[in-house]
Structure 1
Amino acid sequence: MHELELSKAFTLIEPGPVVLVTTHDGKHDNIMTISWTMVMDFTPVFAITTGEWNHSFAALQKNRECVIAIPTVDLLDKVVGIGTCSGADTDKFARFALTPVQARLVRPPLIKECLANIECKVIDIVEKHNIVVLEGVAAYIDSARQETRTVHAVGDGTFIVDGRKIDRKKMMASRLPPGI
């Protein structure tokens, strides 16, 4: 083994999948790309890392709701494009030809082209670490979608695409919540 620059260590455990987060600021819908996500438990509690550098952050702080939309590999160029422009001067739904769908319990829209969408309420913001803790209040999946592979950011501009699934449910049964 050889030593890795400590500043690059995060690329070894960068979480995933890369998600799109929709917000609404009272006038406009917006989308931001987030690669720093975390599942908090077997409950529908999640965390994302973002802050004032993202235009959508003010809407998250003020309105305390969003949608986590999970794109697939066929949307990767749109996902990267969304992450490299600002909602302050760009209608990202129009620019990237994405379809907003009315959510049931929050104002920000679902994204029709995504594999799954989770409506969320902000339950905490840990300012010291720019962590936004979200509680899922509704979830949807497009089971008819042909492409289901998600992408994971390495953190250096490259991505890893999901591969084959390996089933170990029987081995883990004692550790999984009922119904999983």
Structure 2
Amino acid sequence: MRPLKLSQAFTLMESGPVVLVTTHDGTKDNIMTISWTMVMDFTPVFAITTGEWNHSFAALRKHRECVIAIPTVDLLDKVVGIGTCSGADTDKFAKFKLTPVPAQLVRPPLIKECLANIECKVIDIVKKHNIVVLEAVAAYLDTARKEKRTVHAVGDGTFIVDGRKIDRKAMMASRLPSGLC
């Protein structure tokens, strides 16, 4: 093994898929790209990391709602593009040719082209670490969508694409024989 700069250690543990988060600031919709996400426990509670530097943060703080949209690998260039421009001066839905779909329980829209969308309410903001804690209030999955592979940011401008699924549901649901645990 060779030493790794501590400043790069996060690239070994980057978590869930890169997501798009839609917000509404009272006037217009916006989209931001987020790669720092977390599932909290076995409940529909999630966390994202963002802060004052991000145009959407003010809408999250003021209106306390958003949609987490989960894109697939075929949308990667749009996802990266969304993350490299500001909603302060760009209509990202128009620029990246994405379709806003009215949500049922929150003002920010779903994104039609994404595999899944989760409507969320902000339940906490942990200022010290710029963590926005979200509770899901509705979720949708496009089962007709052919592409289902999501992308994961390594953190240095490269991405990993999901591969094949390996099913261990039965093993996890049953008690392991003694000697195996």
TM more than 0.5: yes
**2:103 equivalent in structure 1:** 103
Structure 1 residue 174: Cα displacement:
5.2
**1:42 equivalent in structure 2:** 42
Counterpart secondary structure, 1:82: helix
Distance 2:141 2:52 in 1: 30
**1:30 equivalent in structure 2:** 30
Structure 2, gaps ≥5 residues long: 176-181
TM-score (ref. length: structure 1):
0.96
Return the letter of the residue paired with 1:165.
Answer: K
Q: Which has more radius of gyration?
A: 2
Identity of aligned residues (%): 88
**What is the 5 A alignment of 1:1-180?**
1-173=1-173
Structure 1 residue 72: Cα displacement:
0.1
Distance 1:68 1:174 in 2: 33
Task: Show CA shifts across 1:134-168 (max 9, x none).
Answer: 00000000000000000000000000000000011
Distance 2:39 2:165 in 1: 19
Return the letter of the residue paired with 2:38.
Answer: M
Distance 1:141 1:16 in 2: 17
Distance 2:163 2:38 in 1: 20
Counterpart secondary structure, 1:104: coil
**1:178 equivalent in structure 2:** none
Distance 1:58 1:174 in 2: 46
Structure 1, gaps ≥5 residues long: 176-180
Distance 2:149 2:143 in 1: 13
Distance 1:43 1:5 in 2: 35
Counterpart secondary structure, 1:78: helix
Structure 1 residue 44: Cα displacement:
0.3
Counterpart secondary structure, 2:55: coil
**2:179 equivalent in structure 1:** none
Task: Show CA shifts across 1:115-139 (max 9, x none).
Answer: 0000000000000000000000000
Aligned Cα RMSD in Å?
A: 0.9
